[in-house]
Every structure is written in structure tokens, then in C-alpha cells.
Chain A
Amino acid sequence: MKDNNSRENSNVMKNVFSRIRESNVFLALIGLLLISLSLSIMSPHFMTVSNILNVLRQISTIAVVSIGMTYVIITGGIDLSVGSVLALSAVVSAYLMTHGTNMYIAIIIGMIIGLLCGFLNGIFIATRINMPPFIVTLAMMGIARGFSLVITDGKPIYGLPKQFGYIAGGYVFGIPIPVIIIILLYIIGYVHLSFTRTGVYYYAVGGNQEATRVAGVDIRRVKLNAYAISGLTASIGGIILSSRLVSVEPLSGTGYELDALAAAVIGGASLSGGEGSLIGTLIGAIVMGVLRNGLNLLNVSAYWQQVAVGVVILVVVLTKSLRKK
């Protein structure tokens, strides 16, 4: 009896341990520590509070965009339109601001634009029309980008209110506001995904759509919400980005969909759905930020940085699939 008990105990311990080891977040964390460690050895400027805050500020846009992307990927979808939606909502709110609209109202309208774009994606993907996410969001990518070029006539918008720049440039208790925004949004998203009824449904839909439907879950609403959230976080990313630059370019956010995807995948998300976590995605975004920042400090050219990020993605996914065997 006693023997049995202790065996059970050790089983539980083994279980907990293997769960930690198996978790993909753990893998991303190890990667982050390794990269940070080697960079701090190579450059004395890396491991300083101001540089770390700098990295966090740099990744704030991508990190926010990646939240929605993670939701979508967990449901088994993909959102290629986030970069363009980011630009469109930034362009619209900047246009309104420079044409006499109250700054806060302009920001809210920008966010509504993002939400609407995501909602439209969701309508085509999740309802009975049932189109593949890749195609729908590819179309939205073109449409949103096109509109932002039309509105600005292809030119950047300058002269945003000084106050607006405070969003990305300001500090609260010595912490940059974008960093506070990331932390807040990630906490909300994490709690939502891990501890609420609707959160579990995103994983369920990604894991086995039919079983989830049979269980009586409205899977169309779950998917619709995922794309709407993605549009919303893209627009928040747009506001942070334009605030940082105190101007908006119609071509801003180009390629962000792939960065957001990379952040989610490095953080353990699987494109086949059902897997992924916001903690992982945040670590993924930080990994990419740290890598770029460190290579900058080491005077490595931007061209080689792209190679490095690509290699990191490969290594992470490779480790993941090797471990599954």
C-alpha cells in the first residue's frame, strides 16, 4: 500500500516534470535565455535596463498584432491581413486627426475600422459561406492596403497632434506606455484563453471542429470572434506604431503578418490549430526583438538579421517536430 502511494507520488512528479518539458513555451523560453545570454556576452550594451525597455518598445507593435494572430492560429486559421488592417486603421485615424477630429474619437474610429475588417474576414470564413481563411484574409490584405493608399493618395500623413505621440513616447512610473499596453493586453488575453468558457472554445475548435460542434458549441461565433479580435489588435498595433513615428505611412505594417505568425510559431503555436498560448507568443515576439536588437548592437547588417530570424524559426519548429517522434 505504502509502496503504491509513493509510486503514485513519483508518477505525479514525473507527470508535472514531463508536462513542463513537453510544453512548447518552455522551449521558447530556453531559446530566449540562450540568445540573451550569448548576446550579453558579446555586447556589454545588451543587458541594460534601458536597452531591454528599448527592445520591448520596439516589439510593442508586433507583440500586440500577434495577440489576434494567436487567437486565429489556435482556431486552426490564419490571418494574412493584419499588416494591411494595421495600416488602414492607422491611416483613417491619422486622417481624421489631421482634419479636426478629436484625437480620442479618431483613435476609437480607427479601432472600429480594424474590428470591422476582422469581422468581415470572419463572416466569409466562419459563416455558411465557409471560405478558406488563407484566401479571404489574402483578399482583405489587398483591399485594406488599397484603401489606405487611396485615402492618403500614397503619401505619408504628417503633423499628428503632439499629444498623440505621448502614447508611444510616454512613461508611467518609468515604464514606457507601449510596454504597459502589451502587458495589460497579454494578461487579458491569457486569462481569457486559459480560464474562461469562451477561451477554451478557441482551442476546441482548432483541435476538433466537428466534436466541438456536436458538443453544442456555436463554432461559427468562435471563429468569427477570433478574426474580429485579430482585426482589433491589428488596429491597436497601428495606433502604437503611428504614435511612435508621429506620422503614418500607407505602406506601414507590410510583412507584419509574417512576423506575427513567426512570433506565434516560435511560442509553440501550431498552424494545424489547437495549440498555442499567449505567453509563448509574447516570448516569441521578444525572441525576434532581442535577436534584431542584439545583431544591431553587434553591427550585423539588416540583411543578415533576416537570415538569423529565419534560422531561429526553423530551429524552433525542427526541435518541436523532432520531439514529437
Chain B
Amino acid sequence: MDNGYIFRLEGISKSFGGVKALQNINLEIKPNEVLAIVGDNGAGKSTLVKIISGAIIPDKGKIYFKEKEVLINNPREAALLGIQICYQDLALVDCLDVATNIFLGREICRRIFGLADFLLLKRMREESIKHLKSLGVEIQNVKEKVKNLSGGQRQVIAISRAVYWGTKLVILDEPTAALGVRESKKVNELIKSLKQNNISVIIISHNLQHVFYVADRVIVLRHGEKVGERKIRETDGDEIVKMITGSEFNGQELAY
């Protein structure tokens, strides 16, 4: 597994009617790597993410997880493999508290009278605090309802939720899109700290500044094709913007 990738896509294609959303995409991600996928609107980023998370089945191509070919038919199967996706707005239930959100769908319970699974609320709260702390996240009160938290806190909790327990690969869809500067910084710190927790990250973002801050590698999509792949250390914003737009524009003008 040394040369190995944790996750690999080979020749992925997908069309919707006559529209070729993705053509022959190859992509791989190593353990503890942060891979950014960038591209203009309609470049095929969301389709790619949906394929990885099992929401869309590709027409052609193979998916490998830990060097074994896998079929991902739905998000549940992706989760079983250890692939979690954190959507922009769909991630949290506002009317529930932080701990309940983190454990939603995998509650710690004890069966009583053989009738019902009773929640072990106290344990879930303790575990949530422990988990958040391990990621360097500070939340004052895990009993707080999520709707009372700021956008940044919510995003941090959504990501923490996605990387809880056995997650090997997490996909973040525009994690900083709706956030202010300070809040974005917190989220980006969290993304970087995932690496230390043995988790690979695929991040979709429009914000190149953030991409350059958190990612190790970047892949550029244009019109459903992969047009470039660079190590972050070996490229700059100019080159990426040129690849995104197809060199029609001067990168300087568009970069910020």
C-alpha cells in the first residue's frame, strides 16, 4: 500500500441525455492527502462528487477503494466503505442539538425491555466533546441547538460529523462558500488537522486562496474533462486560473 492510493477513479464517464457531464476522468488520492477539485460552474465537479458518494452511478469507468474495485450504489454503501460527504447545506438538522447531530443515524443506544432503543444521551454528549476536541474544535455546549450557532460553527460541526468514526475519505463541497474570513480560517484549520487524523480529503472550492492554503494537490476540470493536475507546491494561482478558463483570459484579472 506504500505506492498505493486509498481511492482511485479510472476512466469515469457520465452523460445526461446528450450532455457529456464527465469524460474519461482519472483521479487518485493518497492516504492523508488533501486533493482539491476546481473548475468553473458546470465543469462537472458536482457530478464527480455525486459519483464518489454513490448518489449517481457512472456510465463507464471503475472505482477502486484501497486497490479493490468497488461499486458504490448509494450514499449508504459509500459510508460503509468509509467515504463520507459533507454537503453545503444538507448536513445538519437545525432543530437538534450538536451531540444529536453528530450521532444522527448512528446513535449510541441501549435496548430496554426488548421494546425500544433508548438513547444514551450522556454518553453521546461526552463522546461528542471528546471527538470535537480531538479535531481541535471548541464548542462550548454540545446541548446547544444547531440553529443557534454561527455559520462557521455549523460548518465545523458538519465536517466533524462527517469524519466521525472510521471515515477514511471525506468530500467537502464548498466548505467555506458562505463564511466570513475568520470563520473560513477556522474551517481551513480543521481541514488541515484532518490529515493528522489519518483522513484523506477531497475539497471542492471556488476559492483558490483557500485551495492553496489547505490542499496538497489540485485537479482542474473544464467541460467535463480533466485538463490539468498539479502539486500545489509546483504551481501558482495564475496557472490554475488559466486552466480553469482555458487561457482565454489573463489569470491576473480573474484570480481575485
Residues of A within 8 A of B116 (CB): 192, 196-198
Residue in A closest to B85 when the chains form the complex, CB atoms: A214
Nearest chain B CB to A24 CB, angstrom units: 12
The answer to whether A204 touches B93 (Cβ under 8 A) is: yes
Q: Which of B66-95 contact A (CB under 8 A)?
A: 75-76, 79, 85, 87, 90-95
Partner of B95, one of A11, A198, A206, A215: A206
The answer to whether B90 touches A211 (Cβ under 8 A) is: yes
* Chain B positions 100 through 119: 1 when the CB is less than 8 Å from some CB of chain A, otherwise 0: 10001111010000001111
The answer to whether A207 touches B94 (Cβ under 8 A) is: yes
A212 at interface, CB cutoff 8 A: yes
B207 at interface, CB cutoff 8 A: no
The answer to whether B90 touches A210 (Cβ under 8 A) is: yes
The answer to whether A196 touches B119 (Cβ under 8 A) is: yes
The answer to whether B95 touches A216 (Cβ under 8 A) is: no
Residue in A closest to B92 when the chains form the complex, CB atoms: A211
The answer to whether B117 touches A208 (Cβ under 8 A) is: no
B56 at interface, CB cutoff 8 A: no
Q: Give the complex CA separation of A206 and B105 in angstroms.
A: 15
The answer to whether A204 touches B104 (Cβ under 8 A) is: yes
Q: Give the complex CA separation of A208 and B93 in angstroms.
A: 5
A200 at interface, CB cutoff 8 A: yes
Residue in A closest to B121 when the chains form the complex, CB atoms: A195
Residues of B within 8 A of A275 (CB): 95
Q: Which of A209-236 contact B (CB under 8 A)?
A: 210-212, 214-217
Q: Give the complex CA separation of A206 and B93 in angstroms.
A: 9
Residues of B within 8 A of A206 (CB): 95
Nearest chain B CB to A183 CB, angstrom units: 19
A46 at interface, CB cutoff 8 A: no
Partner of B105, one of A192, A195, A198, A217: A217
Residues of A within 8 A of B75 (CB): 214, 216
Decide if the interface of chain A is mainly helix, strand, loop or mixed: helix
Q: Give the complex CA separation of A198 and B111 in angstroms.
A: 12
Residues of A within 8 A of B93 (CB): 203-204, 207-208, 211-212, 274
A15 at interface, CB cutoff 8 A: yes
Given A211-B90, A215-B105, residue A200 in contact with residue B76 (CB < 8 A): no
Residues of B within 8 A of A214 (CB): 75, 85, 87, 90-91
Interface size classification for chain A: 20 to 34
Q: Give the complex CA separation of A208 and B107 in angstroms.
A: 17
Residues of A within 8 A of B104 (CB): 200, 204, 211-212, 215, 217
Considering only CB atoms and an 8 Å cut-off, how many residues of chain B contact the other chain? 26
The answer to whether B79 touches A204 (Cβ under 8 A) is: no
The answer to whether B100 touches A208 (Cβ under 8 A) is: no
* Chain A positions 171 through 209: 1 when the CB is less than 8 Å from some CB of chain B, otherwise 0: 000000000000000000000100111101001101110
Nearest chain A CB to B92 CB, angstrom units: 6
Residue in B closest to A12 when the chains form the complex, CB atoms: B141
Residues of A within 8 A of B76 (CB): 216
Nearest chain A CB to B245 CB, angstrom units: 33
Q: Give the complex CA separation of A161 and B21 in angstroms.
A: 71
Q: Give the complex CA separation of A196 and B100 in angstroms.
A: 12
The answer to whether B119 touches A195 (Cβ under 8 A) is: yes
* Chain A positions 29 through 56: 1 when the CB is less than 8 Å from some CB of chain B, otherwise 0: 0000000000000000000000000000
Given A192-B116, A204-B104, residue A197 in contact with residue B94 (CB < 8 A): no
* Chain B positions 218 through 248: 1 when the CB is less than 8 Å from some CB of chain A, otherwise 0: 0000000000000000000000000000000
Nearest chain A CB to B16 CB, angstrom units: 21
Q: Give the complex CA separation of A234 and B44 in angstroms.
A: 50
The CB with the most chain A CB atoms within 10 A, among B75, B96, B104, is that of B104
Residues of B within 8 A of A196 (CB): 109, 116-119
Q: Give the complex CA separation of A195 and B144 in angstroms.
A: 17
Given A11-B140, A197-B107, A216-B76, residue A208 in contact with residue B92 (CB < 8 A): yes
Q: Give the complex CA separation of A198 and B116 in angstroms.
A: 8
Residues of A within 8 A of B118 (CB): 195-197
* Chain A positions 9 through 24: 1 when the CB is less than 8 Å from some CB of chain B, otherwise 0: 0011001000000000
Residues of B within 8 A of A (CB): 75-76, 79, 85, 87, 90-96, 100, 104-107, 109, 116-119, 121, 140-141, 144
